[in-house]
Structure formats: C-alpha cells, structure tokens
Structure 1
Amino acid sequence: MSLAEEFEWFADWCVGTSPLYEKLARGVADDPYLLSLAEEIPPKRGTPNILFAAVHWHLLGGVSHPLADFYPSVTDDPKTADPFPAFREFCAEHEDELLPLLRNRRTQTNAVRRCTALFPAFSHISNEVGGEPLALVELGPSGGLNLCWDRYVYDYGDAGRYGTGECVLDTKIRSERSPPLPDEFPRVASRIGIDLNPLDVRDETDARWLRALVWPEHEDRHRLLRGATNVARQHPPELRQGDAVEELPDVLAGIPSDVPVCVFDTQMRYQLPETAQDRLRVRIEAAAEGRPLHWLSGHESADEWEGAFALNWFDGEEYRRLLAYEQHGKWLRWVR
C-alpha cells in the first residue's frame, strides 16, 4: 500500500481505542508535507507509530507547544477539538529535532501485561523439565521488561493472586481449563535478551522512548510501564546487541548444556522476513537436538479466536499450540 493508505489503515485501527491518533493519521494521509516527512522513516518499522512516537517523545520531554494540550499523557484536561492543525505546526517547527528519531528509532514496545500469559507458560515448561531452573533467552526484548516477569504481581481474579511487589498485572481467564499457576514462581538459572537495538531503561532517553510508543490515551499501559520500568532499574536484565537469529547459537553455547533452555519471543517474529524466520526455526531445531530446549513464540491467531495472540510451544521434538491471549494480555485462554 502507499504511504497515504498506510496512514488511513492505521487510522481505522485506532477507531475506538485512540481518537487522537485516528484524527492525526487521517490528517497525515492527506498532507503532502507530512507524508514527505514520514518518508524519512526506514521501511518496515511501522511508519505511523514512529512518526507519532517521535512527536510524543518531545512532548513528554517538556517541549512547550499548543499540541501538548491534546495529549492525555501530558495534560490532565486534554482538548477534544481537532488536533491536526497544531500537530502539523509542531512538525514544521521541530522538523530538525524530529528527523534523528524518525531515521534511527524503531517500534519497540514492551507490552508488560503479556507476562500474564508467560508466567503460566514458563510454569508449564518448568513442570516438563522436572522443576529444574530455566535459562531464559528472549528474542527482541526491547527494554527487557518481560525478562523481569517473576518480579511482578499477578492477579487472575478467582484463579488467585501471585507474587509480591508494586507492579500488578491483572487479566481475565476465558477458559474452562485453568492455567498452571504454582504457589511459587518457576526457578530461573539465567536470563538474556538479544535485540538489534536494546533499550536501557536506566537511560532517560531510552525510557522516554518506551513511554512515547504507548498511545497517549492508554493510561493503564502507561501505569504498567512505569511500574515495570522501576523494577527493571532495580534488577536490570542482561541485554545483548545483535541480530537475534544470528546471535542465538553463540548465546546458547554459553549456557551449560545440562541446563534446560526456554527461548521466547512475543511480537518479534512478524518483523522478520520469511527467510529469517526459516533460519530461526532451523537453529532452534538444531539446538534442541543437543540439549533440553523449549521455544515459546507469539503470533497473530488465524483460528476462531481471530484478533487474539497465540503463544506456540516447541517442546524440542514437535510444535504444539499452547495458549492464546488477546493483544496486550487483557485476557487469557489456556488451551493446553
């Protein structure tokens, strides 16, 4: 699709969840100047997300402009009038400051609530390996917040509450079969993330970029991000820079061969070309021939739970559907 069509598509996606971005996206789609500015963003990085996050980043940093009055993440009493004239004016006035972000940043959200699905998935795999500590390797971890999964509190309603701390993740279970939720978290031997551009939440610039990627109206996601960022600053995960597919063999080689490994990713694979996805599968399967290895991988579901996110499980021998959950972990349906 053309760039204008991409912004129209994005606007349709925002209906009902972000009135601000819906209005802005439709305005950009009809504006030659803003479309030319958006062309500065490298392909396949989620152009609308990057453009809006770059503007949001500057507003979160305290840049004074009438546009800030439309952002719930910046003001307590946001305007509901048409924000597009102020948005266009902001971009024209701050083009030089926007360009470095447009050219160099990526869409790297950390949907922390997805940990409500990862927790029972890790518990399931822990049971499969007899409770041995797991070496966790996340592909595309961004700021590594999901690697801190066992430092959060989980509220599953009637199914129970687990963990201690200030960052509380809640979800609803939509299945007759209860997920495996042990009294204690599965043990972790090590945790490593591999990312082309890992973000360090201890760095204010990177932390603000994570905030900027969260849509302005999504206060609950902003709240969870603040809590998870505080956790990661106290317990920073090990993040390595590099191509996740290419670096994975070296990372696995550094883990003792008798330690069971769980490789996992949530929203990383869809960004890979098919050739890279094929290489990743080949490397996972090859590694599983010489050691206990499991792989959890998320992707969009195409079954009756369309619009959900499915978490697939490779147990070292075959691929099995493990569970499905709605984007951002708002509910969980356990199917294994």
Structure 2
Amino acid sequence: MPALTDAFRSFADWAEGSDPLYANLARRVAADADPDLLALAESAPEDRATPNLLLAAVHYRLARRPDHPLAAYYPSVTDDPRAPDDDCYPAFRAFCLDDADAIRQLLRCRRTQTNSVRRSAVLYPALAHVAAHVDGPLAVVELGPSAGLNLLFDRYRYDYGDRVVGAADSPVTIASETRGGDPPLPADPPALHSRVGVDLNPLDVTDDADADWLRALVWPAHEDRRAVLDAALTVARTDPPRLVAGDLLEDLPAVLDEVPEDVPVCVVNTLVLYQVPEAVCAELEGYLTEQMARRPLHWLTGETDLSGGDSVRLDWVRAETDGIERTRLADYDPHGAWVDWRA
C-alpha cells in the first residue's frame, strides 16, 4: 500500500506546525505501514482524502468515548491534553482496531466536508468587490458548501485588526489579518437577492450527527476554529441556508434558472475544485463562461491544485466588453487567518 503510506506521510508534512498530534499520528501510520490500520483506512472510497478522513472518523468516535486513553492527547476532548509521546500511537492504534466497525462505516459514508467558517474573511471583501460592479442585490450560489455556513457570511462580524465590519450584534466574530493590499471592507455586507448551495452531500446544521461531524473535521489543536464553528452553527440553526443535493454540473443549471435573468449572480467556490476531476473543472468553466455571455454572472473561484503550500488564491472571473477577464483578487490562508488583497 505504498500510495496510502505516501498519502499519510504527505499529510504529516502538511500538519506539521499546525497540529502536532495529527502530524505525529500520520507520520507513525506511514512509518509503521501497519497492515491492520492501512486496511481500515482503505475502507474509504478512492476519491476521498483518506488520512484526513480517518483522523476525522477517529475524532468523531473519540468524542463519544472520552474515557479512552487516546482522549488524553486531544485538546478537543480533554482540558489538559498530553503532548504526543511514546504511548500516543499505541493508544491510537488500539482505539482504531477496537472501534473498527464504526470507523469503517464513517469512512464509507462521510466526506472531508470541512466548513471553514473563517474563510468568510476572504469572501466578505470579495463579494463586496463583486457587488460594487453590478446593479442590484447579488444572488449567491456556492458550489460545495458543506453545511452552507459561508453562505451566511453577512451574519458574521469581522475583525481585521484596523477595521471591524459586518453584523455588529453577531455572536460570531471572525478575526483575520490583512497582510497586504486594501480589501474593500464596507461597514455593512453587500445586499443579497438570494443564497443557495449545491453539494453532492449537503450537511444539515439542524442534525446533531452532521453538526458533530463538522466538529470532528476541525483538527484537535484548532480551538479557535472550533469556537467559531460552534457559534456559526448557532446562527445557522435559527435560519438554515438553502442547500440543494446535487452535482455541480448536472444540477447547477436548474439552480441558476431559478434566479431572474436580470438579477446579478455570483457563483462561489473556494477550496472545492481540487477534489474535482480536471475534465469536470474544464466543463464547469465552459458552462459558466457561456452563462456570462447571456446574463450578469460573476465567478469567485478557488484553486484546482493545493500543492502550493500554506497559501491559496481566489480569482474573479467575469465578462467584459472585450471578452472573459480573470483577476487574482486575493491570496489567503486556507482557514482565513489572513488575507493578502491583490486586486
């Protein structure tokens, strides 16, 4: 299973410096090439991010077994976590094998649908930028929204250090550093005509199991992200976003047809396309550029390749008089910790 061990090794490199526990566990899985653990991990379909998915499944199950020795290493489960030591990986292995049936089921039916609420820190200025170039409120359509928490970007408060904007009375405060440029940060969010998400497997914020899965996808060391997620779930449950279960190619046309043709549309996807086959990405781009020729449609799109390190980008694609234009709006931390405005 060399490909799988390589995947765990790459994940460990990625997690290094961000979550010592996950880096340690992934590196040990790769180094030991334990056939029992790798066989369990192989229960995940081939199109899933297996290391992240396995760790999320363990995290989900461990929250229900806080007395297990492994829980002592998880900041999300205990108030006084131990640093990874010689006993950590054996406890992890024992937990996985003891709870293998439940973990295997999660690997088969769940996805790594991390709903990084802090990513709204780049969407706020990006959507404000688009709104400044159209007439009337925006119809926002998000591709791969998970539970749709970023569709509710206008219900959050944002602290960019030198400026605080957004919904002043929101229980959600998203702190993000402006590293460069001058992003448009209006005091109030842009007006919306409507909002909807299209996802193969949308998560329901009112369903406890789905909400717990979202929590399990947050790495144990990321306490700030977990707090923001919990606050955003509270907001979402009062008025959940509309989510359509469907394919981004097959079902997107019907969703767009629901929006009057004179209403400006902004299709949004952040960190989604890297999980989509290249041919499908090309077909999606072709379809959206065709739509731009017949209606006011803008596209805020993320990258199809995440091999560039700890920074990702957001582009703005739209029709201009001389053809389709693509502008690099921002580089940003994948979890929204900072934004570098490039436009």
TM-score interval (norm. to shorter): over 0.9
- Cα shift readout 1:181-236 (whole Å, capped 9, x = no counterpart): 12221101110100000000110100000100111011011111111111111120
- Cα shift readout 1:33-68 (whole Å, capped 9, x = no counterpart): 101111111113110011111110011234541111
SS of 1:157's partner is coil
Q: 2:113 aligns with which of 108, 111, 114?
A: 108
User: Is 1:2 aligned to residue 3 of structure 2?
Assistant: yes
Count of residue pairs brought into register by the alignment: 333
Partner of residue 37, structure 2:
34
Partner of residue 24, structure 2:
23
Partner of residue 47, structure 1:
50
**Structure 2 residue runs without a partner (length 5+):** none
Q: Distance in 2 between matches of 1:160 and 1:151?
A: 14
CA contact (8 A) 2:139 2:195 kept: yes
CA contact (8 A) 1:300 1:308 kept: no
CA contact (8 A) 2:120 2:150 kept: yes
Structure 1 residue identity aligned to 2:331? A
Q: 1:157 aligns with which of 153, 161, 180?
A: 161
Q: 1:173 aligns with which of 171, 178, 183?
A: 178
User: Is 1:136 aligned to residue 140 of structure 2?
Assistant: yes
Deviates more, 1:55-64 or 1:227-236: 55-64
- Cα shift readout 1:91-142 (whole Å, capped 9, x = no counterpart): 1111111111011111100111111111111111111013x11000000000
Partner of residue 64, structure 2:
61
**Moved >6 Å (runs of 4+):** 300-303
Q: Distance in 1 between matches of 2:29 and 2:126?
A: 41
CA contact (8 A) 2:155 2:166 kept: no
Deviates more, 1:80-89 or 1:249-258: 80-89
Q: 1:327 aligns with which of 334, 338, 341?
A: 334
CA contact (8 A) 2:12 2:22 kept: yes
Q: 2:293 aligns with which of 289, 296, 311?
A: 289
Shift of 1:163: 2.0
Structure 1 residue identity aligned to 2:191? R
Q: TM-score, normalised on structure 2? A: 0.93
Q: Give 1:175-190 correspondences, 5 Å limit.
A: 175=180, 177-190=181-194
Partner of residue 14, structure 2:
13
**Structure 1 residue runs without a partner (length 5+):** none
SS of 2:249's partner is helix
Q: TM-score, normalised on structure 1? A: 0.95
User: Is 1:318 aligned to residue 322 of structure 2?
Assistant: no
Cα RMSD (Å): 1.7
Q: Distance in 1 between matches of 2:229 and 2:187?
A: 25
Aligned CA distance change for structure 1 residues 306 and 206 (closer, same or farther; 3 Å): closer
Shift of 1:174: 1.4
SS of 1:169's partner is strand
Q: Distance in 2 between matches of 1:333 and 1:11?
A: 26
Shift of 1:300: 7.0
Structure 1 residue identity aligned to 2:257? A
